[in-house]
Structure 1
Amino acid sequence: MYTVLATDSIAKEGMAELENEPGVSVLYGHIDEITQPELIDGLIVRSATTITKELLSRFSNLKIIARAGVGVDNIDIKAATQRGILVINAPDGNTISTAEHTFAMIMALLRKIPQANQSIKEGKWSRPSFKGTELSGKSLGIVGMGRIGTELAKRARVFGAKVQVYDPFLTNDRAKTLQVISLPLDELLVTSDIITVHTPLTKDTKKLINADNLSKTKKGVYLINCARGGILDEEALYTFLTSGHVAGCALDVFETEPAVENRLVQLDNVIATPHIAASTTEAQLNVASQVAHEVSSFFKGKPVKNAVNLPAVSNEEFQKIYPFYELAKMSGQLLSQSFSSPIKEIKITFAGSITDYDTGLVTRGLLSGFLQPRVDRIVNDINAALIAKEQGFTFGETYSTDAQGYENWMEARVIGEHDNFSLQATFISGYGPRVVNINGYSTDFIPEGYLVYIEHIDRPGVIGRVGKLFGDLEVNIASMQVGRKMAGGEAIMMLSFDKELNQDIFLKIKELPDVVSATKINL
């Protein structure tokens, strides 16, 4: 008999499958009201309940935590994983709701519906003030072609819009399948009549639409953000709205919420909603149904697809495999940031003591690390394979008898549409994870922190110029690894820093003589 506690006003209609499951009892109530937490096998929560390490110690028999929604910020994932507790979420439940809300915001913005409604409620009948704009025939630019962007594109095409998208990881084949035009960001900004963002908020996408990018847009452009507050630079947006360069803006999310005192919402050419894009009856029912199904499957011993952490394992097994899993995760992140192009295949090879463990789990860790910066949802070790398929690339693992002189060894090779990239890594007891080869260049560095990967020509003075640049800027280099294949040919540097370099410094690296490319990597 399993006992599941559902908190935070979960939609009970969506819990029918779990309630009807033989051997499962579902309780509803506040988590602090439970007098015997050791009897609870599963938790279903929304955002109001915070799952801490201390709470998990009281729920000593807990096997699964289900988040009825997408975000899992309120759950201590590491603590749950260390206790062998599976954490799942419902990433697809609000896709349609968010896409529909975005589309509604576009139409309301173009036709000035909120302003006209307010005017008529004030007793006015000013038809000339609310002349609108048609969506048909306009260029809609979608930044981020994940699930929501894809659903939005379908709807916009039906209304006669020309859909063009920017997503650095969208392959040409997938763009054709989705019937969209894939463009570089600069070209999308210059040619779009309407721009809507649908990316996760990361270091790379924070203030992605800033003063520099807004200056490239058409005069009279419309902007929409129903994704995450902070993707649009609000200060720059205010300037371009008040100048008239941006004709109008629709916002469901803000950098700071609640946004009742945000000066953007006071502008006549701005319409706003209070972060409700995912708030529909259907969405709340969907997320409840999804997690109920997943929890039911878990208790019946069937696979679940929306796990956020490792599959449930014993603490002893977890401790043994965790170093290799972390190595793979970091390697995947490093590969993804180093090779920012569409890919066709990832090949993973293992050798040495690592093959004594479930390398399938390690492979999924690498895949999830690789995919997380590229898609608009939480990627985990179970859904990584499915998402890889959705993104249009394959992956596979093989074993080798040659561990390159190391106790354990792993190689991951990315095969792209136009180029390839590889890394080799190992885990050394007492020293931790090390990357020992990058794209055929021998090296030795810890894959963590703030890194800069530089490709350059092997000529006298290049390394010195890099060092002098940072010395003149009073920026301390924590470590430097160099590698080359032959004298006078291509070479690399991998630099680590105590903090992330600002964009101005990073651009100065690219301007140095004989530097071919420079890539920021944050792990």
Structure 2
Amino acid sequence: MSFLVIHTDPLHADFSHELAELAALDVEFRPLQVRTEEEVTAACADAHALLVTYATVGRRALAAMPRLKIVVRTGVGYDSLDVQAATERKVMVANVPDYCVSDLAEHTMALLLAWWRRIVELDRQVRAEGWGRPIKPVYRLEGKTLGILGMGRMGQAVAARARGFGLKLLGCDPHIPRHVFDALGVASVELEVLLRASDIVTVHALLNAETRWSICERTLRLMKPTAVIVNTARGGAIKTEDLVQAIFARAKGSNRTLRDDEIWDLVKRADA
């Protein structure tokens, strides 16, 4: 049997690049559309290598693939892969750490500007009412403080772009050396200092046990009531229930705790 490479859940249909790379090898390439661990377990038992977009590859799936040598996540984050279980089975795990760095940094700045300058709100008003009535306040971005949570490639790219807007830059990442912060004009601070001082917080950390729910009830209480969060990392960096509670409390001037059904009703409406 030739070496079998399975792409679990590609988002494209043209595999000419993959086939060109594998042409010189005795390799079979098989694209599928499986995402859950149950689907991966059933469909990929004979794989020697996996390319993974969003599929979950956990301990059970790994145990069902005795020939597996490597799993490659075709992006930066690898929280859908059980790295510990793969290590135990001597299966290599790889990612693509420079995937879409510029795209994400530009998108982060686009979201930041759209919110801070009230672009969406103004667009809706003009479409509904025509030109004329001002929306106030709209604040100047220059001189505000941007806190960057996660100073890897993504956070560094955002810092480089944000500096041009005249923002004061704070960063938090215990895994990045100080000279990287200094080169970008970013002050290296602890998380609590960043949250207390920032007018805008952008999130770029990988999702793992250390970073999951970095933004939660405790840390939200540290932030300015007017602060903005832009999360272009994994959703699990923010505890959604706590965020909804905080938004509700600040909007209503209330300390009342929402019931679970109220929280998820607000979450569903936010996601709609």
Instruction: Name the TM-score, length of structure 1 as normaliser.
Output: 0.41
- Inter-partner Cα distance in structure 2 for 1:49 and 1:2: 22
Q: Distance in 1 between matches of 2:224 and 2:118?
A: 20
Distance of aligned partners of 1:174 and 1:6 in 2 relative to their CA distance in 1, 3 Å threshold: closer
- For 1:208 and 1:156, the matched residues in 2 are separated by 22
Please tell me whether residue 25 in structure 1 is matched to residue 22 in structure 2: no
SS of residue paired to 2:29: strand
2:266 to 249, 253, 262: 262
Whole-angstrom distance in 2 between the partners of 1:210 and 1:35: 37
Displacement of 1:108: 0.5
* SS class of match (2:151): coil
Q: Does structure 2 conserve the Cα–Cα contact (< 8 Å) formed by 1:142 and 1:197?
A: yes
* Pair 260,180 (structure 1): closer, same or farther in 2 beyond 3 Å: same
Secondary structure of the residue aligned to 1:164 is: strand
1:144–1:166 CA contact under 8 A, matched in 2: yes
Structure 1 position 97 matched with structure 2 position 103: yes
Q: Residue 240 in 1 paired to residue 250 in 2?
A: yes
- The aligned residue for residue 363 of structure 1 is none
Q: Give the letter aligned to residue 90 of structure 1.
A: V
Preserved contact between residue 8 and residue 49 of structure 1 (Cα < 8 Å):
no
Q: What is the letter of the counterpart of residue 8 of structure 1? A: D
User: 1:149 maps to what in 2?
Assistant: 155
Of 32, 46, 51, which aligns to 1:44? 51
Partner in structure 2 of residue 135 of structure 1: 141
Offset from partner CA, 1:358-385 (integer Å, 9 cap, x none) = xxxxxxxxxxxxxxxxxxxxxxxxxxxx
Q: Which secondary structure does the structure 1 equivalent of 2:24 belong to?
A: coil
- May I ask how many residue pairs the two structures share in their alignment? 253
1:421-451 CA deviation, whole Å, 9 max, x = no partner? xxxxxxxxxxxxxxxxxxxxxxxxxxxxxxx
Shift of the alpha carbon at 1:128?
A: 0.7
Further displaced range: 107-116 or 229-238: 229-238
Residue 110 (1) aligns with residue 116 (2): yes
> Distance between the aligned counterparts of 1:184 and 1:35, measured in 2?
45
**How far apart, in 2, do the equivalents of 1:16 and 1:101 lie?**
31
Percent identity at matched positions? 32
Residue of structure 2 in register with 1:300 after alignment: none
Q: Report the Cα offset of residue 152 of structure 1.
A: 0.7
Deviation track 1:249-271 (CA, whole Å, cap 9, x = no partner) reads xxxxxxx9xx98435966xxxxx
Which structure would you say has the larger Rg? 1
Question: What is residue 178 of structure 1 aligned with on the other side?
Answer: 184
Kindly report which structure 2 residues correspond to 1:64-79, keeping only aligned pairs within 5 A, or say none: 64-79=70-85
Aligned to 1:62, what secondary structure does the other structure show? Answer: coil
| Contact persistence 2:40–2:61 (CA under 8 A) | no
1:199 corresponds in structure 2 to: 205
C-alpha distance in 2 between matches for 1:67 and 1:261 = 33
Distance in 1 between residues matched to 2:216 and 2:42, nearest whole Å:
52
Aligned partner of residue 140 in structure 1, secondary structure:
strand
Which of 14, 18, 25 matches 1:15?
Answer: 18
Alpha-carbon distance in 1 for matches of 2:47, 2:165: 50
Give how far 1:112 is off: 0.9
Moved more, 81-90 or 135-144: 81-90
Query: Higher strand fraction: Structure 1 or Structure 2?
Result: 1
What SS does the aligned partner of 2:146 have? strand
Q: 2:42, 2:216 → 1: CA distance?
A: 52
The superposition leaves residues 192-213 of structure 1 with CA deviations (integer Å, 9 ceiling, x where unpaired) of 3322233345566555445565
Aligned to 1:317: none
In the TM superposition, 1:65-464 aligns within 5 A as 65-125=71-131, 127-129=133-135, 132-201=138-207, 205=211, 207-210=213-216, 213-214=219-220, 216-218=222-224, 220-227=226-233, 228-231=235-238, 233-234=242-243, 235-243=245-253, 261-262=265-266
Please give the secondary structure, in 2, of the residue aligned with 1:129. Answer: coil
Alignment of 1:477-496 (within 5 A): none
Task: Return the alpha-carbon distance in structure 2 between the equivalents of residues 85 and 35 of structure 1.
Answer: 19
- 1: CA distance, partners of 2:169 / 2:60: 46
1:6 equivalenced with 2:11 (yes/no): no
Amino acid of the residue matched to residue 141 of structure 1? G
Structure 2 counterpart SS, 1:132 = coil
1:136 match: secondary structure: coil
Shift of 1:174: 3.0
Q: How many angstroms does 1:90 deviate by?
A: 2.5
Partner SS for 2:135: helix
More helix by share: 2
Question: Are 2:69 and 1:63 aligned?
Answer: yes
Ranges in structure 1 where 5+ consecutive residues have no aligned partner: 244-255, 267-272, 275-523
Post-superposition offset of 1:217? 4.2
Secondary structure of 1:153 counterpart: helix
Distance 2:213 2:56 in 1: 30
Distance 1:73 1:134, change over 3 A: same
Unaligned runs of 5+ in 2: 254-259
CA distance in 1, matches of 2:210, 2:62: 34
Are the counterparts in 2 of residues 53 and 76 from structure 1 also a CA contact under 8 Å?
no
